[in-house]
Amino acid sequence: MAELITVEDPDDPRLGDYSGLTDVALRRCREPAEGLFMAEGEKVIRRAVRAGYGMRSMLLSAKWLEVMGDVIAQTPAPVYLVSPEVAERVTGYHVHRGALASMRRAPLPSPDTLLTHARGGVVTGSVDDHTHPGATSTSGPHTRERRIAIFEDIVDHANLGAAFRNAAALGVDAVLLTPRCVDPLYRRAVKVSMGAVFAVPYARFESWPRDADVVRKHGFVLAALSPSARSVTLDEFADRHYEKLALMLGTEGEGLSAEALRVADNHVRIPMDAGLDSLNVAASSAVAFYATRPRSG
């Protein structure tokens, strides 16, 4: 059972995890360095806990005590009770969802480890050392088609969160991020994903696109999503039914780098109408994940 501590001073050092949440630059450095991330709102906090992330503390206004009662009963982490005014003074914004939790990051598996533990069956399994919360079990049929997504240099947290949500909802088995891709555990990404960043196992390449070799070594066909007229259409591509497919999506604005396009085995386009040349990256991911979903029969 968590200890309930009423705090009235916004400068109380025990609330340090929650200070300056609106300072994106500060939080982007601080959170990975200190091994924490923020979960905001009842659903997201529950999903983080269910995914196996440890809790450092919670910050609640009184009316959330009852709603979060079962979570409080199960956690040894302190729960700081504050007024909405104190919460706002500490965080820098009005905490609409009334509940924040500071969660512990876990070490990420390497891309090789992530894909190794896919074991020719499903990729939703955990790695042996359980270093990646969100991973569950490795059971499953060994013949099922598998898909992973590679997000190259996505710089907008909302886009990354939405793309993770699409991946979780549309059965993508794992996500690989290039080194410059933003942090999926940053508050905005977590919030937009509705906690889906906890549900899809992910890893980060050390070097990209050199590490595309790791993906190929595991038998994945690399498909670059690119609106270029030279690309094959998504309908035509989806009919090929690859057993192991890695769908690569590029950064906002520029799209996939020339190097990424070079290492891809296929270039695939979603045909565009109305004189528009491309979709937003998260929207494209939803279309591509859906079109390439495994089908029985």
Ligand X SMILES: C[S@@+](CC[C@H](N)C(=O)[O-])C[C@H]1O[C@@H](n2cnc3c(N)ncnc32)[C@H](O)[C@@H]1O
Binding residues (CB under 6 A) for ligand X: these are 225-227, 249-250, 252, 255-256, 269-270, 272, 278-281, 284
Q: Residue 90 or 234: which CB sits closer to ligand X?
A: 234
Nearer to ligand X, 5 or 221 (CB): 221
Question: Helix (H, G, I), strand (E, B), or coil: what is residue 232?
Answer: strand
- Distance CA(265)–CA(108), nearest Å, equals 27
Which of 8, 22, 13, 103 is CA-nearest to residue 62? 8
- Residue number, 90 or 288, with CB nearest to ligand X: 288
Closest separation between CB of residue 181 and ligand X, Å? 13
Quick one: 64 or 289, whose CB is closer to ligand X? Answer: 289
Nearer to ligand X, 99 or 270 (CB): 270
Instruction: Kindly list the distances between the CA atom of residue 293 and the CA atoms of 166, 213, 247, 271, in Å, as whole numbers in the listed order.
Output: 12, 24, 12, 18
Shortest gap between Cβ of 51 and ligand X (angstroms)?
27
Using DSSP's 3-state secondary structure scheme, residue 73 falls into: helix
Q: How far is the CB of 12 from ligand X (least distance, A)?
A: 44
| Radius of gyration of the chain, Cα coordinates, nearest whole angstrom | 20
CB 31 within 8 A of CB 38: yes
Residue 297 corresponds to which tokens in the numbers above?
A: 């029969």
Between 57 and 226, CB nearer to ligand X = 226
Give the residue at shortest CB distance from ligand X. 255
* CA–CA separation, 210 and 219 (whole Å): 16
**Whether 149 contacts 247, CB under 8 Å:** yes
**Helix extents (H) in the chain:** 24-34, 42-50, 64-67, 69-74, 84-91, 111-116, 157-169, 187-193, 212-217, 234-238, 258-263, 281-291
To the nearest whole angstrom, how small is the minimum distance from the Cβ of residue 175 to ligand X? 14
User: Of the two residues 65 and 279, which places its CB atom closer to ligand X in the complex?
Assistant: 279
Name the minimum Å distance from CB 282 to ligand X: 8
Least distance (Å) from ligand X to the CB of residue 279? Answer: 4
Cα separation, 64 vs 133, whole angstroms: 26
CB of 256 to ligand X, least distance (A): 5
